[in-house]
Amino acid sequence: MNLKISALDYIQEVKNGNISAEDFVAKTIEQIKNVDEKLHAFLSVNELAVDQAKEIDKKIKSGEKVGDCFGMPISIKDNLCIKGSKTTCASKMLEDFIAPYDATVIKKLKIQDAIFVGKVNMDEFAMGLTTEFSAYGPSKNPWNAEYVPGGSSGGSAVSVSAFECVASLGSDTGGSVRNPASFCSTVGYKPTYGLISRFGLISYANSIEQIGPLTRTVKDTAFMLNLISGIDPNDNTTIDNNNEDYLSGIDLGIEGKKIGIIKEMMGEGIDPAVLSATKDAISKLEGLGAICEEVSLDMVKYSVAAYYTITATEAGSNLARYDNLRYGYDFPVEGYEFNSYISKARRNFGPEVTRRMILGGFVPSAGHAGKYFLKALKVKSKLTKEVNEAFKKFDLLIAPTVPVLPFKLGEKINDPVSLFLVDINTVTANLTGKPAISIPFSYSHGLPIGIQLLADSKQDKLLLRAAYALEQTVSLPEVPL
């Protein structure tokens, strides 16, 4: 059985009776058992997945209405709540937490008869870029297990790339879907802010994070977006997309569209192979009839500093609830005052979470808020203004997803500033609320390179159309598992 098919091909094969959901899910679970000891994408596997697939096959045979996913196996980043399942955020602090409710995206996928094959690895509380900051050990890049898969949604990207599921859901705060998508050669999508409900996503930085799909093809991403987007009464930041069909018109092409090449994302520090691939992508877009011109976004050079200042502040607030009274470790309270008890419990946070919580307590504090936090908000405002001005002239923007190739495990883990700079090309979409997508485009020394496209707010349909057009120009090798 071919596990390498796309989501849309899977649905068609099940509809045609060529495969059963039970057989496909069983084969997928077998694939997880075969490759995950090496790759460590999964933190837990759904033992009932095959039985759930059997029930869907019964519905199909009896002529009952079946949801649009037809039992498709999907992996879920472990910061999304599935009722009755562990949701650990890859943290010891939540190692025994059982989610009491479903996230909105999970509810929507359940209605469509998706099957969740398991929860996948991530950087602890989504704070990191390599999945090395998981309390349960790093995931590894399926293209070369000595290299990082990106993060924080590394497990999601690995599971899609290694055929351990057909699609996955991750979360993107500063590139956490697009970064691993680029490093593992999958499609990764960060939607317009508010397009997908965050209800049931364990919070890191509410003002900029979004749930997004990772898939094998752009059409699969559009399909997933059709299922999980839209207004949610449980999330007041959601926007009305008028039940948009993101697959409709996806193949209309981009002739006559103007695309801005972001100058500041193509300069100092970019790997020559990444630069070459980006120039090739631009040339292919021009060959499709697009008009590509350079655009300058001066505030991009301040974006990483602003991003980490804002997200650390929000993280410090969000993680204040982890006081070991409602979540956490079971250890005796005798001999501890309240503050020392909480302090001891919080020592169980990993180094990256600890670093950001300390920073998040410092930068908005009295005497420092004006110097750091308010300045970061001003950068965010100015960057948004610059990007909005750019979209008055251009339909889309282009840049490499990540300016460097995947790097070896452990290479940057003790150099947080170097790690933070890996985000330089992705944080702009989050700070400005714009949709962005990473498309697999090229390889160098056997390691994937992704290209990023951005669009204006609520122009997700145009963005997917452009990404699909670019995707059709590329023929890439299979992952060497």
- Structure tokens that stand for 298 in this block: 């001066």
Query: Which pLDDT score, from 0 to 100, does residue 419 have?
Result: 84
Measured at the CA of 266, the angle between CA 404 and CA 217, to 5 degrees, comes to 65
Residues with a known catalytic role: 77, 152, 176
d(CA 181, CA 153): 9
The DSSP element (H or E) to which 442 belongs, if any, is: strand 436-444
d(CA 25, CA 23): 6
The answer to whether the beta carbons of residues 41 and 162 sit under 8 Å apart is yes
In a domain, 230, yes or no: yes
10 Å CB burial of residue 294 (0-12, 13-18, 19+) is: exposed
Which among 434, 429, 475 is positioned nearest to 457, based on CA atoms?
A: 434
Helix (H, G, I), strand (E, B), or coil: what is residue 2?
coil
Q: Give residue for tokens 């001003």.
A: 378
In a domain, 354, yes or no: no
- Structure tokens that stand for 201 in this block: 């996503």
Torsion angle, CA of 70/75/78/84, rounded to 10 degrees? 40
The answer to whether the beta carbons of residues 151 and 79 sit under 8 Å apart is no
Residues 6+ apart with CB under 8 A from 225: 189, 191, 195, 196, 213, 246, 460, 464
In a domain, 315, yes or no: no
Query: Which pLDDT score, from 0 to 100, does residue 329 have?
Result: 65
d(CA 273, CA 444): 6
The answer to whether the beta carbons of residues 143 and 479 sit under 8 Å apart is yes
In a domain, 199, yes or no: yes
The answer to whether the beta carbons of residues 458 and 298 sit under 8 Å apart is no
Query: Which pLDDT score, from 0 to 100, does residue 331 have?
Result: 63
pLDDT mean by block of 10 residues, the chain; 481 residues? 95 97 98 98 98 97 96 98 97 92 98 98 97 97 98 98 98 98 98 98 96 98 98 97 97 98 94 97 98 98 96 91 71 64 72 90 88 95 98 98 97 84 95 98 97 98 98 94 83
Going through 160-271 in order, the beta strands assigned E by DSSP cover: 167-172, 187-190, 210-215, 258-262
Q: Could you tell me the CA-to-CA distances from 247 to 223, 251, 323, 457, 461 in Å, in that order? A: 6, 9, 45, 18, 8
In a domain, 156, yes or no: yes
Dihedral angle sign, alpha carbons of residues 151, 152, 157, 159: positive
Residues 6+ apart with CB under 8 A from 425: 175, 262, 265, 399, 400, 401, 402, 403, 452
What residue numbers bound the domain in which 172 lies?
7-252+400-472
10 Å CB burial of residue 439 (0-12, 13-18, 19+) is: buried
The answer to whether the beta carbons of residues 441 and 467 sit under 8 Å apart is no
In a domain, 374, yes or no: no
Q: How many CB atoms lie within 10 A of CB 281?
A: 27
Query: Which pLDDT score, from 0 to 100, does residue 415 have?
Result: 84
Number of domains in the chain: 1
| Strand 210-215 with 115-120, pairing | unpaired
10 Å CB burial of residue 477 (0-12, 13-18, 19+) is: exposed
Torsion angle, CA of 402/215/410/445, rounded to 10 degrees? -70
The domain that contains 22 carries what CATH number?
3.90.1300.10
pTM: 0.96
Query: Which pLDDT score, from 0 to 100, does residue 475 have?
Result: 93
In a domain, 261, yes or no: no
d(CA 453, CA 460): 11
In a domain, 265, yes or no: no
d(CA 164, CA 480): 14
